[in-house]
């Protein structure tokens, strides 16, 4: 993600069709948007993580369960089988969010931790979050919500001064049938609690990458602020 530092040819915009926030004029962001947009159109009718299952097994640590017991969140902690599950879920989330292939794991700068929400019935994957340790991030300006509510071409600016950050949310997804049930918040809470041993990362120290319109709304609501960090 590039930052708006006043360049007239490099301004952040929200694509009205696919919802991605990207920097117009930046070759890397333009390429990412083109790939994302193409996959969005190709996968608009289904596929992705919604059809995946994850049965209980070794290397899974329970971190949350819904009040009705119909969903639980597990951290995938290690082992060969767990690594395979992480890769499988990551590929599904990339398809679901129309991300470039291998973007979640292979293009990360460090180790990525995975949290997966699974339904009690059928062990269906209904949510997933991938987090990594980071050191610096940049704060959006207070107009970010209005900008993402508008049409393509609206400016979404970011402060060009780096701030300290600890937990990077590389990707987060919740199935449409399971939204507004606390799954995203549960996964974010787990990521904060497990990012640094002996320390619970503050919400203000979390940063999000490549937010879509719904991702921006989640970040604003979770951080309880009119701004949030991006990286």
Residue boundaries of the structural domains of the chain: 11-230
Judged on CB neighbours under 10 Å (0-12, 13-18, 19+), 54 is: buried
For the chain, what is the radius of gyration of the CA atoms? 17
Per-residue confidence (pLDDT) for residue 9, from 0 to 100: 43
| Segment 36-90, tens digit of pLDDT | 777 666 554 445 566 799 999 889 999 999 999 999 999 998 778 899 999 999 9
pLDDT digits (tens, 9 = 90+) for 80-122: 889 999 999 999 999 998 888 999 999 998 899 999 999 999 9
Establish how many alpha carbons lie within 13 A of residue 198's alpha carbon, considering only the half-sphere containing its beta carbon: 0
Q: What is the crossing angle of helices 183-195 and 213-223, to 10°?
A: 60
Domain 11-230 has CATH 3.40.630.30: yes
């Amino acid at each position: 993600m590039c930052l708006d530092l006043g360049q007239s040819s490099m301004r952040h915009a929200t694509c009205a069709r696919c919802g991605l926030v990207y920097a117009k004029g930046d070759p890397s962001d333009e390429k990412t948007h083109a790939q994302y947009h193409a996959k969005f159109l190709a996968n608009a009718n289904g596929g992705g993580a919604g059809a995946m299952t994850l049965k209980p097994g070794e290397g899974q640590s329970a971190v949350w369960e819904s009040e009705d017991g119909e969903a639980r969140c597990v951290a995938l902690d290690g082992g060969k089988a767990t690594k395979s599950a992480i890769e499988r879920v990551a590929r599904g989330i990339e398809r679901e969010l129309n991300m470039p292939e291998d973007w979640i794991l292979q293009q990360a700068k460090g180790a990525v931790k995975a949290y997966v929400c699974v339904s009690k019935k059928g062990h269906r994957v209904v949510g997933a979050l991938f987090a990594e340790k980071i050191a610096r991030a940049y704060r959006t300006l207070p107009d970010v919500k209005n900008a993402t509510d508008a049409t393509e071409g609206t400016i979404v600016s970011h402060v060009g001064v780096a701030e300290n950050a600890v937990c990077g949310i590389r990707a987060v997804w919740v199935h449409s049938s399971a939204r507004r049930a606390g799954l995203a918040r549960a996964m974010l809470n787990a990521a904060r609690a497990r990012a640094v041993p002996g320390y619970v990362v503050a919400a203000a120290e979390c940063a999000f990458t490549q937010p879509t319109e719904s991702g921006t709304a989640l970040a604003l609501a979770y951080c309880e602020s009119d701004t949030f960090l991006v990286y």
